[in-house]
Amino acid sequence: MSDKIKFTDADKAFISKAEQYCATAEQCRTSVMEKLLTWGAERDQAVNIVEYLVDNDFIDESRYCRIYCESKLHLQKWGRIKINYMLRNKRIDNKIINKALQQIDEQQYSDTLRQLAESKIHTLNENDPRKRRAKLISFLASHGFEQSEIYNTLQQILPENED
């Protein structure tokens, strides 16, 4: 399996299981490592298996980050700040994260923020325009959108008297 490391039969069983896990959905090193440990692998054993999976393109963190960014923006309606934070929690290199965040389509990003803001406006039970605006800003910030992006969007969608 690998020129550097001799894998035991137990290792091979974990490798097979990990390959299937990686084949079903894109994974990062951290998630595969955690999964191997929950399956009963020893830490050193899991490290070697993860390296094998990286060497054999079962794990590609650049690919993982691109897909993660796309899916979180479109499905969960997360902004760059929250996506960045969650990827950092997975201990992915900052350069890889930043590159993936830069690949987010600006128009889709703006459209997602606008749709989220417009849908939230209709659920706010607040008559005071300032409080209504503050709640909307807080909601959008909690989704990880940048303040500047939020303010630009609100200028476009709120009536003149609420701006």
Domain-embedded: residue 30: yes
CATH number assigned to the domain comprising residue 46? 1.10.10
Q: What pLDDT, in 10s, does the model give residues 66-87?
A: 999 999 999 999 999 999 999 9
Nearest to 136 by CA among 35, 156, 3: 156
Domain-embedded: residue 37: yes
Domain-embedded: residue 112: yes
Instruction: Work out how many domains the chain is built from and give that number.
Output: 3
Q: What pLDDT, in 10s, does the model give residues 10-37?
A: 899 999 999 999 999 999 999 999 999 9
| Same domain (yes/no): 91, 47 | no
| Same domain (yes/no): 110, 140 | yes
| Same domain (yes/no): 123, 138 | yes
Cβ proximity of 27 and 21 under 8 Å: yes
Give dist(CA 46, CA 158) in Å, integer: 52
